[in-house]
Chains A and B, each alone.
Chain A
Amino acid sequence: MRSVLYRGLVVIFALGISLWTLWPTFRFYTMTAEEKQNLSSEYLSKLKKRSLSLGLDLQGGMYMVLEVDKSKIPEDQAKGAEDRALEIIRNRIDQWGVAEPMIQKTEEGKIIVQLPGVLERQRAEELIGKTALLEFRLVADQQILEQTVRNVDETIQNLWKDDTSMVYLQDILVSYSGGLAVKESDVENFKKIIDLPEVQNILPQGYEFLLGKAETSEEGRIRPVYLVKKEPELTGANIKTANHTIFQGQDPAYAGSPIVELHFDKKGATRFAFITGSNIGKRLAIVLDGVVQSAPVIEERIPTGDAIIRGNFTIDEAKELAIVLRAGALPAPIHIVEERTIGASLGKDAVEKSLKAFVFGFILVIIFMIIYYKASGLVATLALILNLIFILAVMVALKATLTLPGMAGLILTVGMAVDANVLIFERIREELRAGKNPKMAVDAGFGRAMITIFDANLTTLIAALVLLRFGTGPIKGFGTVLTIGILSNFFTAIFVAKIVFDYFVGVKRAQKISI
């Protein structure tokens, strides 16, 4: 009799803690938009933090798996490249302003980025995937460029002799605002020529060809051609701040267009002053990830450490460039190896549909149990409801995320939770048929069924733990729910249900069991 009381208190205590844990979740998801507006954002974010978080598949958003390409960087830099990349990506995302991003490294060294609510795929890709290596490089004089072009054509003439199908640089280069440019359709041919080892050999020592951003001219879409020093004078590593703004200067070609303003740190400013001071009249190319953004002529020594980048940007492009320059360059290029986006409406649809399925399934199972086991079916229902409360509370406490497969796991748990009750009830029925009195039948029924339930659930637990340990993403979400479900099931089906039975047959001394 006393034991019933004590055990009952344990259950009530567990229930109390669970409900307390679930309260913020209940409050957050049942609030109307209007109520949310009236609350302070601080309170809301605190509430949200303590609520059950929904996976991207339920609330919409973007999921990316990134791989750092270490094939082109030296070994000493390759070590820890993922960690540095991760920090920089985190920095960029923070500055972009995404609420609750999740950025983590996997065991295989890949980087997983989850951006809830973000649906602008292209922008996110550019922001995260850009290496953002900014370099300032001196441009060779126009005569040297023209001489080099002639030298290249001579070299390839010797190489190809009479093969008339091949093109020469002079065929594809056009004059463009005082320099040279190549038509977009000829870019491939251009690259083929300059990549030839024979051509590489005759370029002026320490120089290479680079292309500018595509521009529109009378000839159509063209890309300017530059001959620049291989060694940068200065890199983005020395940037202190970067901002996007609108060009206020006199130059009519750029008036009113978005630009990025840079401010170098002390070391960078000194260096910049020296470079500009000793190269007046020359052009300085601003190169981002191997593409020349602009190549202004140095007019005077700049001692302040201020610079601007003009490159025919849109506002968004300028904003993104400023962010990536502030956050720093990635140690190596990264590739997006996996990407998933789910629209918010699709996620909402999934939540609604699975909730509906859940509620109907739940009610049908309860109806079945009550018809089949009468009052004992009610005990099973109680166990089932407690089971659900405990599962959700544990998920909140562990800060687990509810995903769509997790929802399915929850629905499946409802079916499986009943199994333990069925095993017990069938046993009790058998014992009653064998002529035992209610108390003995209950004790024997629970005792025997417990061994079976233990063995049966433990094997399912093995599968669930394998999912949890080795699965990724949605599979893990499912494994979480299943594992918690099985454990909570032990508690509710065996411990809780037994208390109710003990109360009726032990304390109330019921002579008949409604089963």
Chain B
Amino acid sequence: MEFLKNVRINIIGHRKLFYAISLTLVIISAIGLVLKGGPNFGVDFKGGLLLQIKTEPPAEIEKVRSVLGSAGYKAEVQTFGKRGEFILRFPSENTTAEAIKEVLETGLASTISIERTEMVGPSTGRDLTMQAITLVLISMLLMLVYIWFRFDLRFGAASVIALFHDAIIALGIYTMLGREFSVPIVAALLTLIGYSINDSIVVADRIREKLKNFGKAIPLGKIEEIFNSGVNETLSRTIITSLTTLIPLITILIFASGTTIFDFALILTIGIIVGTYSSIGIVASLVVDWYKRSTKREKA
């Protein structure tokens, strides 16, 4: 069995279209992020107290809200998992789980069991935000250097631009879906960066191989064609690989809802789809344009 056999889609020729799509997606994601006031930082980053509780008999969410509200707590209440299970978020870490349990048990007339607590002091949260940003930037920089060393600066820069593109769109869609930004999401973004660069390198590698046949004198008129066949020849591999990675991620989305890896799988699913698209439609195109411009300037 084989799909995408001997395909010849003129991808590089339509690169303006891909640029337009990408630009639109990036702008929408950026606007979404701005409108939402940045990623929806969780307790890990903002500091505060998170409780996951189970009420028995199951209580209604409005009731939980009103009981907490009338006791003077500023809490964000969200249903989670099965009926009667909630996640409560308190902006201040000075509240204790026991005090809240008591308030809820009296107010709801249900038994409350605390399934999970997370308390993070505000300074720890700030440390973590810095750590996350540093992690992402360090790895991008290291990758740029590696590709520069193994291929050339043009591929390195184009791949890193594509990485930013993937990360922003994934984060934007994820945030617009109202999901929370927690520590595992940083790990997911880093994986995404690693995964997405993987695709770009496979394409770059094939193009490098093709360019070798020409030695130093790369015919400018043929460059689009060479790049395009490189992208096309790796097309079936790129798509199959994404598919085999998406399969287990989607099984997580189906089976592991209500656990903390659901969000993790969600952002990876979005990211891998976007990353696959960008390594097909954007990376090689950017390099082609760069080649054309620099050669034009050299001639002039």
B201 touches A455 (CB 8 A): yes
CA distance A451 to B206 in the complex (A): 10
State how many angstroms separate the Cβ of A281 from the closest Cβ of chain B: 43
Interface string of A394-418 (1 = CB under 8 A from B): 0000000000110111011011101
A337 touches B123 (CB 8 A): yes
B241 within 8 A of A: yes
CA distance A482 to B245 in the complex (A): 14
State how many angstroms separate the Cβ of A338 from the closest Cβ of chain B: 5
B7 within 8 A of A: no
Is the contact region of chain A dominated by helix, strand, or loop, or is it mixed? helix
Interface string of A356-371 (1 = CB under 8 A from B): 1110111011001101
Chain A residues contacting B234 (CB-CB under 8 Å) are 426
Nearest-CB residue, chain A, relative to B260: A404
A353 within 8 A of B: yes
B69 within 8 A of A: no
Q: A57-B260, A354-B261, A466-B138 are in contact. Are A412 and B245 (CB under 8 A)?
A: yes
A354 touches B114 (CB 8 A): no
A455 touches B205 (CB 8 A): yes
B119 within 8 A of A: yes
B252 touches A411 (CB 8 A): yes
A217 within 8 A of B: no
> B142's contact among A335, A337, A343, A466, by CB below 8 Å, is which?
A466
Nearest-CB residue, chain A, relative to B118: A340
A122 within 8 A of B: yes
Chain A residues contacting B98 (CB-CB under 8 Å) are 121-122
B184 touches A466 (CB 8 A): no
Among B8-16, B168-176, B192-200, B216-224, the stretch in contact with A: B192-200
B91 within 8 A of A: no
Nearest-CB residue, chain B, relative to A64: B119
B291 within 8 A of A: no
CA distance A472 to B255 in the complex (A): 27
State how many angstroms separate the Cβ of A282 from the closest Cβ of chain B: 39
B109 within 8 A of A: no
B134 touches A357 (CB 8 A): no
Nearest-CB residue, chain B, relative to A350: B259
> A460's contact among B116, B138, B184, B197, by CB below 8 Å, is which?
B197
B36 within 8 A of A: no
A271 within 8 A of B: no
Q: A65-B124, A121-B97, A340-B119 are in contact. Are A353 and B256 (CB under 8 A)?
A: yes
CA distance A412 to B229 in the complex (A): 30
Among B22-30, B60-68, B143-151, B282-290, the stretch in contact with A: B143-151
Nearest-CB residue, chain B, relative to A122: B98
B88 within 8 A of A: no
B201 touches A459 (CB 8 A): yes
A463 touches B194 (CB 8 A): yes
Chain B residues contacting A350 (CB-CB under 8 Å) are 256, 259-261
A456 touches B251 (CB 8 A): no
B244 within 8 A of A: yes
B258 touches A470 (CB 8 A): no
State how many angstroms separate the Cβ of B132 from the closest Cβ of chain A: 9
B115 touches A343 (CB 8 A): yes
B121 within 8 A of A: yes
A353 touches B258 (CB 8 A): yes
A478 within 8 A of B: yes
Interface string of B241-264 (1 = CB under 8 A from A): 101111111111011111111001
A364 touches B251 (CB 8 A): yes
A342 touches B261 (CB 8 A): no
A426 touches B236 (CB 8 A): yes
A471 within 8 A of B: yes
Chain A residues contacting B131 (CB-CB under 8 Å) are 470-472
Chain A residues contacting B237 (CB-CB under 8 Å) are 422-423, 426
A48 within 8 A of B: no
Q: Which of B2, B199, B206, B261 has the most CB of A within 10 A?
A: B261
A460 touches B205 (CB 8 A): no
> B135's contact among A407, A451, A458, A471, by CB below 8 Å, is which?
A471
Chain B residues contacting A354 (CB-CB under 8 Å) are 252, 255-256, 259, 261
B300 within 8 A of A: no
Chain B residues contacting A460 (CB-CB under 8 Å) are 194-195, 197-198
Nearest-CB residue, chain A, relative to B205: A452
- Kindly identify, within residues 437 to 487 of chain A, every residue whose CB is under 8 Å from any CB belonging to chain B: 448, 451-452, 455-464, 466-467, 470-475, 478-479, 482
Which A residues lie at the B interface, using CB under 8 A? 57, 65, 121-122, 335-343, 345-346, 349-350, 353-354, 356-358, 360-362, 364-365, 368-369, 371-372, 374, 404-405, 407-409, 411-412, 414-416, 418-419, 422-423, 426, 429-430, 448, 451-452, 455-464, 466-467, 470-475, 478-479, 482
Which B residues lie at the A interface, using CB under 8 A? 1-2, 52, 96-98, 113-121, 123-124, 131, 134-135, 138-139, 142-143, 146-147, 150, 183-184, 186-187, 190-191, 193-195, 197-199, 201-202, 205-206, 209, 233-234, 236-237, 240-241, 243-252, 254-261, 264-265, 268
Could you list 30 examples of A-B contacts with CB < 8 Å?
A: A341-B114, A346-B115, A353-B259, A356-B255, A357-B251, A358-B248, A361-B248, A371-B1, A372-B2, A405-B261, A407-B261, A408-B184, A408-B261, A408-B265, A412-B248, A419-B244, A422-B240, A422-B241, A426-B234, A452-B201, A456-B198, A456-B202, A460-B194, A462-B194, A463-B191, A470-B131, A471-B187, A474-B187, A475-B184, A482-B191
**Supplied contacts A336-B119, A337-B123, A350-B261, 13 more A-B pairs, CB within 8 Å:** A339-B120, A343-B116, A349-B259, A365-B248, A404-B259, A415-B244, A448-B209, A452-B205, A463-B143, A467-B187, A471-B131, A475-B187, A482-B194
